[in-house]
Amino acid sequence: MGAALAAAGLLLPMAAGAQVSPGPMLSSIRSKGYLDCGANPGSAGFGVPDSRGEHRGMDPDFCRAIAAAVLGDPSRVRFTVLTSQSRIPALQSGQVDVVARTFTWTMARETSSGLQFGPITFHDGQGFIVRRATGIERASQLEGATICVSAGSTNELNLADWARTNRIAIRPLVFESNEDTRKAYASGRCDSYSLDASQLAGFRTTFADPNEHIILPDVISKEPHAPAVRKGDQQWYDVVRWTIYALILAEELGVTQANAESMLESPNPDIRRLLGVTGDFGPSIGLDRRWALTAIRAVGNYGEIFERHLGERSPIGLKRGLNALWSQGGLLYAPPIR
């Protein structure tokens, strides 16, 4: 009966525990010895080079987790700085292996640009920052304002849609990169700067007196940030998304950077599967059994990454909000490893 079903192509997919060979992307990354990750030129909390040129932030840590899972070493990442306009061509052309830099998942990007997005790593929405001295308290008061925005981003389209829908006349001032846009606002060339609200929170901390600037309460869009890969290599897509899911599951299960090793002795079946004590889930996607353990030891779980770069004790000072676990009132949810 089994032979007949196999011949008919009706058997279930390969079960966990079966070792599969590395596909094109895994083979390429292992051959060159590093992961090439599309990075942000500078967004506090999400990705910015420090004084030594090391990329720090939430998105670089996701890349380090992937490198740890694939290569066993979180330092084996080469960060390629990409603007909003260059990130899609860089990924399409194979210049980078993955883009993780405040990249909004949209239908057009996935269906028309040949990209696939992994799990949502940050739920955001576009907002506005203004100088407190203007007296502006709501976005509806921006009638006639000059608003800085970056080209090649969802922010440019969202701003136009919002103005049209609400019949508010604005003067968009469009720049090539977020850095140019930030400089334009800081120098007083525009009345407001429109960007994802969390990034505005990071930008606000760069001023000598952040209290001179306020982020308006209005949110005009949905901005689900997620890492993206090229379509065509399902195994690589699985590696990227399940590494992110593993970090989320680790937080849910109480597995941290500090205790991950000791958790190998846990009797909890979910923890044992996550850390590779039981089951061969890593080998089923071309990795070793301890892929998730290696990633967690490298950067911590999702909650640790968030708190380190964006949380209330960080300079950014964001609450978890929608980015809390589903069990704590947020939208963060990962399928089980089983």
CA–CA separation, 116 vs 237, rounded Å?
Answer: 7
Give pLDDT, residue 85.
Answer: 87
**Average of per-residue pLDDT across 4-29:** 64
pLDDT of 290-299, one tens digit each? 999 999 999 9
pLDDT category, 19, cuts 50, 70, 90? confident
pLDDT of 263-310, one tens digit each? 999 999 999 999 999 999 999 999 999 999 999 999 999 999 999 999
CA–CA separation, 148 vs 155, rounded Å?
Answer: 10
Q: Which stretches does DSSP call E strand in 70-212?
A: 77-81, 98-99, 115-117, 122-124, 126-131, 146-150, 171-175, 192-196
Residue holding tokens 């940050």? Answer: 122
Per the CB < 8 A criterion, the answer to whether 252 and 337 are in contact is: no
Give pLDDT, residue 11.
Answer: 34
**Average of per-residue pLDDT across 255-269:** 98
**Average of per-residue pLDDT across 51-57:** 91
pLDDT category, 151, cuts 50, 70, 90? confident
Return the ∠ at Cα 310 (arms to 336 and 42), rounded to 5°.
110
pLDDT of 85-116, one tens digit each? 899 999 999 999 999 988 999 999 999 999 99
